[in-house]
Chain A
Amino acid sequence: MRDVGELLKERVSTDLADNVCCVEDVLGGNADLIKREFVYHEQRNLTGIVFFVDGLVSPKEIDHSIMRPLTMHTAELERFQHAHLGPQFAEEIKKHVLTNTGILLFDKIDTAINGLLSGDTVLFLEGCGEGFLISTRGWEARSIDEPTTEPVVRGPRDGFTENIRTNTALMRRRIRDANLQIEGLQIGDRTRTDINVAYIKGVVREGLVEEVYKRLQSIRIDGILESGYIEELIEDAPLSPFTTIQSTERPDKVASSLLEGRVAIFVDNTPFVLILPTTFWQFLQASDDFYSRYWAGSFFRLVRFIAFFISLTFPSMYVMLVSFHQEMIPTALALSIAAGRESVPFPALLEAMVMEVAFELMREAGLRMPRPVGQAVSIVGSLVVGQAAVQAGLVSPTMVIVVAITGISSFAIPNYAASFSIRVLRFPLLLASGALGLLGFAAVFSLLVLHALSLRSFGQSYLSPAAPFQPSEQQDLVLRMPIWMMNRRPAVAGADDTRMGPNQMPAPPDEEGEGDESAESRMADEEEAPNAGKGKRKGSRPWRSGKS
């Protein structure tokens, strides 16, 4: 038996048996490989054969677009009664007989094998020097559902699925721009996973797409099973605890990122799409910041910033104050804390470490257990064990409150990966604060800031636009300014950095010349004649004129 590598290099033969032999030598032992022989030209007694992988194809599609035209619509074939066999004949069959929309003529066996394994159907017809690769992909897939990791109160409910084509379609539905490019490549010597790179031409910064391709094409690996593989193989700071590439299940998030001039990487078989370049602050933004009014959006974002600081520093600050700097705590509060700690036999650092580890344990157990059991674990862990520990005098009530608030704060961070980074970074900070008090806290916090300041994501500073400080970019950082104020794209964008027309701030109609008419009477007038007597709004917005 010949080597598979050699077989793949073989060319398609005019002899049907040779082609069948090649395919069977490569994939013949597989139970899900289906072979169907048939006669497609009775007068000339020409036979054909289709190969497909069961489960990856749509049988209906094969029936309607391949088998029926070739075996039942024989009248079409009679015109080829005297035609010369060969590649020209294959072209004629493709043009006049087969009804499928995606047909590729190929002359190499490896194209056939790749196509088969991707869900396409391979058709060999006797007398043609080429094979037909026919798009018949159709496997069972999860339907579009609400993303479980990034829920929103207001906003679209659809989320990405495991099917890359569904995911890119969700993008096309949102951005109907001819400049939206979705380019494909395959990565993984064995998995040959489909990867799509999406960006908007003109909006994306020059050189960014090339850099993304450069990094993607340098990947040499046997398989890509999830976008996390890609993330780890192309990120700027592989040793850093910070995530420098954002992943999301939300199509609206990807669409807004593309409109900001970023690049998205879609990976087949995962609902998580990568967005780059990424700044740290993106992880503290939720989609509904932009769907709620800016007051609400800004308020919730502020809450998340506070949650971030609490999540990172609260246990460390508590341990630092209780262990080293009691004089900094207001007297009444200090007495209350001291009363709670009276019976606790452990130092505050050990107490905090144990509680933090226990909290992580409960979280992990609740996540991994089957859902009903997971809930039980959470309830038992948080209520029963916590209460019992306090009553037994092993943990102080204040510590339970500190750890609980820290845990809740970490849940307020919308991105799980970022939340995890912060959870991990909490521990060195806690240890340093417990060991050296303010000195340890200041040193480790400074090291973290220095490290974050040194990071870049595809050429963009990780902490921008805060550091380096860009005054014009502050409108979407801690506060979310009104959409009509955000008329420019972020600095990451390319040449086309204007996203809306001038003077988009809405205003009521100008009342000049309308005397003391009441609003009701004006509305009644407008109902009668929609365009009559309409005051000017700020700026020129022809698309908002009474035509609609």
Chain B
Amino acid sequence: MKVRITNGMLMGLVVNMVYAKAIGLTQGIMAREAGSDMWMATILSTLQGMAVMLITVIVMLRLPEKNMVEQAALLLGKWGGKLIAALLFLFFLGAFGTVMITFVYHLMDYFLPEVPVIVFILVGGAVAVYAVYQGLEVIARMALVGSFSIIALNVLVLFGSIYQFDIRELLPVFQNGFVNTIKASRHNDTDWAMATLMTALILPLVRDRLTWKKSAPLAIVYGGLFVLQWPILEAGVLSPEMTGQYIVACMQLARSAEIGQFIHRYEMIMIAFFATSALVQTMMSLMCACMSVSHVLGLKDYRPVILPTTLVLGGFGYWVVLDHGRAMRLLSDYWPPAALAVAFGVPMLVFAAGFLRKKKLAAARKEAEEEKQAQMRKSS
């Protein structure tokens, strides 16, 4: 029996897939480009994310039993499908690198500066391997736990830092111009890209396809709202200039927050609640990479490729994280054009292929319907 997850779980996965990186590293980069408009850039980016998610879901709904790679294989031929799968693998390889930058720098720069990078990669990788081995349903449940952690963290940070908040720091609006703000939003778009391409691979495993169109974009809205609190607080408490000075801006915000005498350091609370989201990002990046590899190799199950894929992803993650300069160059210069090209290009390509090959699509849909009815007859 195929594993199935609920729409609520999908929403949890989308929110977690975005949150950890979006509140810290992304905001730091956006602060450097957009200044006090970083929160505006986050809103614009959320709207763009919603649009791409909607396009992705519309493409998926044409053949809801097949994921994006399977649809591509059907419409573009076997090798076309493999090419798309390889492209998605490369995307998730890069995504894993950015996620590892988030995970490692949060822990290493603020808690364990003497621990070698390889230890972080090994430990994070081990947890991800175990989760991927357990399957999507377990990760999705973890994401639901992570969603509650995110809410708790947001509330705590809000309470801990609201007294230092100065709204004047958010002014003037569009300080560096509207176009520049839109341009800066591309960094947060890369976070949404991970969510939309993950959805493109796992959507057929989500129950109740009638609500896909509603739940997937709604997840982006929720995720956007959870993330949006951070640029507003970071700009209002730390100031945009100060936020831009840090690699992990959210930790600096957490460091400045306090409630009374005995909750005077928020970093650990932050990690306690944020770790789930960061680990879900790691798990899902690895899982999607494994699924892509299994499609490239023509395997029915992704489990045999977990270990080799982890080695490749872990190796890349280690190489990226080892050098802060390299990591930041990847995040701010190379990753956005590459990620956005894949996140927007692949759904559009498959959409266009379906548009041009309507007959094939109709035949596949009919075949899937007949197969479904045969299965229902068999089970009854």
Q: Does A454 reach chain B (CB closer than 8 Å)?
A: yes
Q: How far is the CB of B273 from chain A (nearest CB, A)?
A: 11
| Residues from 243 to 272 in B contacting A, C-beta threshold 8 Å | 261-262, 264-265, 267-268, 271-272
Q: Which of A443, A447, A453 contacts B141 (CB 8 A)?
A: A453
Q: Does B115 reach chain A (CB closer than 8 Å)?
A: yes
Q: Which of A330, A438, A447, A467 contacts B144 (CB 8 A)?
A: A467
Q: How far is the CB of B318 from chain A (nearest CB, A)?
A: 15
Q: How far is the CB of B228 from chain A (nearest CB, A)?
A: 24
Q: In the complex, A330 Cα to B276 Cα: how many Å?
A: 26
Q: B138 touching A454 by the CB < 8 A rule? A: yes
Q: How far is the CB of A449 from chain B (nearest CB, A)?
A: 7
Set of chain A residues within 8 Å of B9, measured between Cβ atoms:
468
Set of chain B residues within 8 Å of A469, measured between Cβ atoms:
8, 144
Q: Which of B6, B111, B119 contacts A468 (CB 8 A)?
A: B6
Q: In the complex, A330 Cα to B119 Cα: how many Å?
A: 29
Q: Does A1 reach chain B (CB closer than 8 Å)?
A: no
Q: How far is the CB of A448 from chain B (nearest CB, A)?
A: 11
Q: A447 touching B267 by the CB < 8 A rule? A: no
| Residues from 325 to 342 in A contacting B, C-beta threshold 8 Å | 325, 327-328, 330
Q: B264 touching A330 by the CB < 8 A rule? A: yes
Q: In the complex, A439 Cα to B119 Cα: how many Å?
A: 9
Set of chain B residues within 8 Å of A467, measured between Cβ atoms:
141-142, 144-145
Q: A324 touching B112 by the CB < 8 A rule? A: yes
A439 and B130 contact, Cβ closer than 8 Å, known pairs A446-B279, A449-B142: no
Q: Does B120 reach chain A (CB closer than 8 Å)?
A: yes
Q: In the complex, A469 Cα to B6 Cα: how many Å?
A: 11
Q: B123 touching A468 by the CB < 8 A rule? A: no
A325 and B268 contact, Cβ closer than 8 Å, known pairs A438-B111, A450-B142, A469-B8: yes
Set of chain B residues within 8 Å of A446, measured between Cβ atoms:
127, 142, 275-276, 279
Chain A, residue nearest B122 (CB): A443
Q: B123 touching A450 by the CB < 8 A rule? A: no
Q: In the complex, A463 Cα to B120 Cα: how many Å?
A: 29
Q: Does B164 reach chain A (CB closer than 8 Å)?
A: no
Q: A330 touching B262 by the CB < 8 A rule? A: yes
Q: A325 touching B111 by the CB < 8 A rule? A: yes
Chain B, residue nearest A442 (CB): B275
Q: Does B342 reach chain A (CB closer than 8 Å)?
A: no
Chain A 215-235 interface mask (CB, 8 Å, partner B; 1/0): 000000000000000000000
Q: Does B107 reach chain A (CB closer than 8 Å)?
A: yes
Chain B, residue nearest A333 (CB): B262
Q: How many A-B residue pairs have CB under 8 A?
A: 79
Q: A437 touching B111 by the CB < 8 A rule? A: yes
Q: Does A523 reach chain B (CB closer than 8 Å)?
A: no
Chain B 121-140 interface mask (CB, 8 Å, partner A; 1/0): 00110110011001100100
**Count of chain A residues with Cβ under 8 Å from any Cβ of B?**
24
Q: A439 touching B112 by the CB < 8 A rule? A: yes
Set of chain A residues within 8 Å of B130, measured between Cβ atoms:
447, 450-451
Set of chain B residues within 8 Å of A443, measured between Cβ atoms:
123-124, 126-127
Q: Does A373 reach chain B (CB closer than 8 Å)?
A: no
| Residues from 61 to 75 in B contacting A, C-beta threshold 8 Å | none
| Residues from 5 to 61 in B contacting A, C-beta threshold 8 Å | 6, 8-9
Q: B144 touching A468 by the CB < 8 A rule? A: yes
| Residues from 528 to 546 in A contacting B, C-beta threshold 8 Å | none
Set of chain A residues within 8 Å of B124, measured between Cβ atoms:
443
Q: In the complex, A453 Cα to B6 Cα: how many Å?
A: 15
Q: How far is the CB of B11 from chain A (nearest CB, A)?
A: 11
Q: In the complex, A138 Cα to B134 Cα: how many Å?
A: 52
Set of chain B residues within 8 Å of A461, measured between Cβ atoms:
141
Q: How far is the CB of B34 from chain A (nearest CB, A)?
A: 32
Set of chain A residues within 8 Å of B141, measured between Cβ atoms:
453, 461, 463, 467-468
Q: A439 touching B120 by the CB < 8 A rule? A: yes
Q: A449 touching B145 by the CB < 8 A rule? A: yes
Q: B115 touching A439 by the CB < 8 A rule? A: yes
Q: In the complex, A324 Cα to B6 Cα: how many Å?
A: 40
Q: A324 touching B138 by the CB < 8 A rule? A: no
A453 and B142 contact, Cβ closer than 8 Å, known pairs A439-B107, A443-B126: yes
| Residues from 423 to 478 in A contacting B, C-beta threshold 8 Å | 436-440, 442-443, 446-447, 449-451, 453-454, 461, 463, 467-469
Set of chain B residues within 8 Å of A328, measured between Cβ atoms:
265, 267-268
Q: A438 touching B145 by the CB < 8 A rule? A: no
Q: B119 touching A438 by the CB < 8 A rule? A: no
Q: How far is the CB of B269 from chain A (nearest CB, A)?
A: 9
Q: How far is the CB of A125 from chain B (nearest CB, A)?
A: 56
Q: B264 touching A438 by the CB < 8 A rule? A: no
Q: Which of B112, B127, B262, B276 contacts A437 (CB 8 A)?
A: B112
Q: How far is the CB of B205 from chain A (nearest CB, A)?
A: 15
| Residues from 139 to 159 in B contacting A, C-beta threshold 8 Å | 141-142, 144-145
Q: A436 touching B279 by the CB < 8 A rule? A: no
A439 and B268 contact, Cβ closer than 8 Å, known pairs A454-B138, A468-B6: no
Q: How far is the CB of B102 from chain A (nearest CB, A)?
A: 14
Q: Identify which of A324, A436, A453, A461 gathers the most chain B CB atoms within 10 Å of its CB.
A: A453
Q: How far is the CB of A201 from chain B (nearest CB, A)?
A: 25
Set of chain B residues within 8 Å of A447, measured between Cβ atoms:
126-127, 130
Q: A324 touching B123 by the CB < 8 A rule? A: no
Chain A, residue nearest B260 (CB): A330
The 4 A-B pairs with the shortest beta carbon distances in the complex, nearest first, are A467-B141, A454-B134, A453-B141, A442-B275
Residues in A lying within 8 Å of B, measured CB to CB:
324-325, 327-328, 330, 436-440, 442-443, 446-447, 449-451, 453-454, 461, 463, 467-469
10 A-B pairs whose Cβ atoms sit less than 8 Å apart in the complex: A324-B112, A436-B112, A436-B123, A439-B119, A446-B275, A447-B127, A453-B134, A454-B134, A454-B138, A468-B9
Contacts A442-B279, A446-B276, A450-B130 known; list 17 others, CB within 8 Å. A325-B111, A325-B268, A328-B267, A436-B112, A436-B119, A436-B123, A439-B112, A439-B115, A443-B126, A450-B131, A450-B134, A451-B134, A453-B134, A453-B141, A461-B141, A463-B141, A467-B141
